[in-house]
Amino acid sequence: MQQPMGIIAGTSFQFSGMTKDLPVQTVPTPFGNADIITLAGAVLALRHGKAGDIPAHRVSHAANLRALKDAGVRSVIGIQSVGSLKQALPPGSLLVPHDYISLGSVPTLFEDNRDPHIVPAFDAGLRTSLIRVLTARGLAVLEQGIYWQTTGPRFETRAEIHLMAHFADCVGMTAASEATLAQEMGLAYCCISSIDNYAHGIGQPPLTEAMFHEVVRENTQKMETVLQTILENAGDLICPS
């Protein structure tokens, strides 16, 4: 029996009707509960919970990933909403980051010095496969970019964004933590980022929360196409165990 594909989705689907009528299972894990939806050939974890009310800094990434692993998943794709750090990367763009920066509180499952040190990275094989199936669907995808994770839940200051823009292409609050914990659990992980706004101080008009949610809503159809493409090609995306 083929292992299921793992998917973690959040803000990009808060306005989507694609999964709202599907049954949600609340799964207990050693790291807290996770809300998952079982699909044909895939298991979807709801990053912010079934009610969508868990803010970024309260998300139990370990619980979401453990629930997927316990469901037989060995490869995970995260779908993230992010802000652009570059004028040349406008809202509406799709980016598959090749690396990430996370200088804040980095999560870990390890407890003592006998545990191994991971060399953090997105899974190269899974990234290549994801880019291939998305471009085959006709989606314009940027294949290189650096994701900078902040803690949230607030947006970043202009000064923080000015600093980040020298080193990264987009800013979000979840992917780096998911990538780190996935590696510690022995799961292949990469992500696709929906550019839903210019970060604070980048581009015009100035960033507001209302504008952010408006563009997320506008990008919902594109992200539904991304999710559908992943589901239709789950067998080709799964990395060897």
Q: How far apart are CA 129 and CA 231, in angstroms?
A: 13
> Which residues does residue 171 pair with via DSSP β-bridges, in sequence order?
83, 148
Average pLDDT over residues 219-241: 82
pLDDT at 36: 96
Span 199-217, mean pLDDT? Answer: 72
What distance in Å separates the CA atoms of residue 238 and residue 75, rounded to the nearest whole number?
6
Summarize the confidence of residues 210-235 as an average pLDDT. 81
How far is residue 56's CA from residue 39's CA, in Å, rounded to a whole number?
25
Question: What percentage of the chain reaches a pLDDT higher than 70?
Answer: 90
Residue 209 pLDDT exceeds 70: no
Place of tokens 């999710």: 227
Mean predicted confidence (pLDDT) in 176-194 = 96
How do residues 27-66 score in pLDDT, each as one tens digit? 999 999 999 999 988 999 999 998 888 988 999 999 999 9
Residues 149, 53 contacting (CB under 8 angstroms): no
Mean pLDDT, the chain, integer? 89
Read off the pLDDT of each residue in 202-210 and give the average, rounded to a whole number.
69
Whether 156 and 202 have beta carbons less than 8 Å apart is answered as no
Domain edges within the chain: 5-237
Q: Indicate the class that CATH gives domain 5-237.
A: alpha beta
Nearest 5 degrees, angle CA 69-CA 70-CA 71? Answer: 90
* Whole-number Å distance between alpha carbons of 34 and 48: 9
> Could you report the per-residue pLDDT of 135-157, keeping only the tens digit for each?
999 999 999 999 999 988 888 99
What are the pLDDT digits (tens) for 104-137?
878 888 877 776 788 999 999 999 999 999 999 9
Residue 241's pLDDT band, with cuts at 50, 70 and 90, is very low
* Distance of alpha carbon 199 from alpha carbon 190, whole angstroms: 22
